[in-house]
Structure 1
Amino acid sequence: MQKTLTIIGAGRVGKALGKLWTQHQAFRLQDVLNQSPASARRATAFIGAGQPISDYASLQAADVYLIATPDDQIVASCAALAQTGLLSADAIVFHCSGALPSSALRPAIDQGAATASIHPIRSFAAPERVVQDFAGTWCGMEGDQRALAVLDQAFSAIGAQLVPLQADAKIHYHAAAVFASNYLVTLLDVATQSYGRAGIAPDVALQMMAPLVRETMENVFRMGPEAALTGPIARGDMATANAQWHAVTAANPAHGELYRQFMQLTAELAARRQPPKQ
């Protein structure tokens, strides 16, 4: 028999996962609890299953509960769920936060429920697209083995690739995703501003950077960071690097400090490279 699933906080993540599990018959969606009846109805309409509700008192007992609220509401939502009296030693409660460990679900743990965290490493800005191409998405997981055994099957059914995490070091896992995604965007914005000082319009700068960035990323993923590194520091041209540092600092001290730090880290990366084979 399919295990029943209730989603608390069916925003972009909850809606996309709910629809995927419904399509692949991994769970039988039961209740969808959102802050308002209207948003709950929109979520169930998107998913194509589930009973829309807007208060904890209306929840039915389920096998599995996904708390898909924003991170700062997860603990309070779990506490409200625990207060319903629906949880037991047979229940599973999990969240999809990349920053919070499964131990944040302490109210459910105190009721005997098994808890876990499964974090899909991708953007959910467009749930419709996520549903179409979720297969192959990497997901970091940690928590109770009983919970993970069930969730491993459910996520595998929709094509996820699961990787275990160290729960006590999860903040570093999430920081890695921020470096690779959010701060990459910021870095490209800094590059766009630097092009602007040379008289190049932002839209043109983005077009100029596109092939360079794409080829660099492809090289990193194909060869690794050490082999993919090019540029003045990689070839030992510190005079050019220092001239750029001084120029950037004169134009924008904050960007200059960022450039200095990247110089140091890039020199360390270059030092790790293996000498070419003879």
Structure 2
Amino acid sequence: MASKTVLIVYAHQSLSSFNAAAKDAAVEVLTAQGCMVAVSDLYAMKFQAAATAEDLIGGIQHPEHFCYAEEAKLAWEEGNLSIDIAEEQRKLNEADLVIFQFPMYWFSVPAIMKGWIDRVLTLGFAFTQEKRYSEGLFKDKKAMLSFTTGSQESMFSENGINGDMNVTLWPLQNGILHYCGFQVLAPQIFWAPSSVPRDECSGMLERWRYRLWGLLGEEPLSFTPLECFEKEGFQLKPEVQEQHAGQEFGLTVGIHLGKRLPPNSQMKSIKAGV
């Protein structure tokens, strides 16, 4: 862990929140191991959530048909992105590990954090059509979600009213983190800390502290490599489908081949065997 750089992208309004305590624990433990830790406190920074033409300080190059993604790519190439985006991209470039610390809102991240994702992970900087998923631009970096829920763990189960948490996490972990190439570590989930006794909250934080000591040595979650897909249409290659035809479970939550979803594939490091 020594000499590693960690970026914590943090989204909570209150200094006395459980999320603040989880963030502070990460800063303390990682720093104690010799890591350089930077925190982007989005609410304190008053980080702009909306991706607009104002992000492009060099002006719009194709105003007749404005496309934010393409314009942001051109601005990034020319060093013309707004100062706040450029600063976050600098931090991200330097980071070996990125931890997203937040309360789960509506089965996803808070709007201010989604804005960070929309504005900072620009086309060209974070991904291209050629460089994504297992061949992504950030394939030498690790990332993870660390978040609180408002519901008990049982409510996010296969039989729970909220549905399987593995399904909930797929768009965030595959569609954002893995899409950009990150090695995605298993999430740290703090189940309904506002609804449990204080000593149980303390126990959650102690388990998080314990995990932090070996965090960068953990095996990442398993996703189906890009090489398993056809270059045209990006469908699974026939030989890969044949290889798994007799398997009980699909490859992943999203690429399940019409089979049962692999248990806990978005929650724990489980080899997919591909």
TM-score by length of 1: 0.37
Which has the larger Rg?
Answer: 1
Which has the bigger relative contact order, CA under 8 A and spacing at least 6?
Answer: 2
